[in-house]
Amino acid sequence: MDIIFKLEHRLQPFAGNQETVRVKGATVRECLDSLISLYPVFREILFDAGGTLSALVIVEGKAVLPKDLDRPVTGLKEIILLPMVQGG
């Protein structure tokens, strides 16, 4: 199934300055893997060194928790990606 990742402006330079990227996948994880296969730098951006999701993934207005990456995307058209805000 085709899904469109909508990239927050700080992520766009890592995808050739595109606002959206079309990928294929049946689950959130498969869609992320598809994005990473197109733009490998996203592995470092989206996951920490232990492989845990460290970015904000929004599906149908709700944040996807790392334990929910196998959630089906049937009927979805868009996933939103936001980098985590860090500070102190």
Q: Where are the domains of the chain?
A: 2-83
DSSP conformation letters of 52-74: -B-EEEEETTEEPPGGGTT-B-T
| pTM greater than 0.75 (yes/no) | yes
Taken in order 55, 57, 61, 62, the sign of the CA dihedral is: negative
**Cα distance between residue 73 and residue 25, in whole Å:** 8
88 vs 50, more confident: 50
pLDDT surpassing 60 at residue 3 = yes
Task: Return the number of other C-beta atoms located less than 10 Å from residue 28's C-beta.
Answer: 21
Fold of domain 2-83: Ubiquitin-like (UB roll) (3.10.20)
Q: Is 73 exposed, middle or buried (0-12, 13-18, 19+ CB in 10 A)?
A: buried
With a cut of 80, say whether residue 8 has pLDDT above it.
yes
Residues 10-62 have pLDDT tens digits of 999 999 999 999 999 999 999 999 999 999 999 999 998 998 898 999 998 88
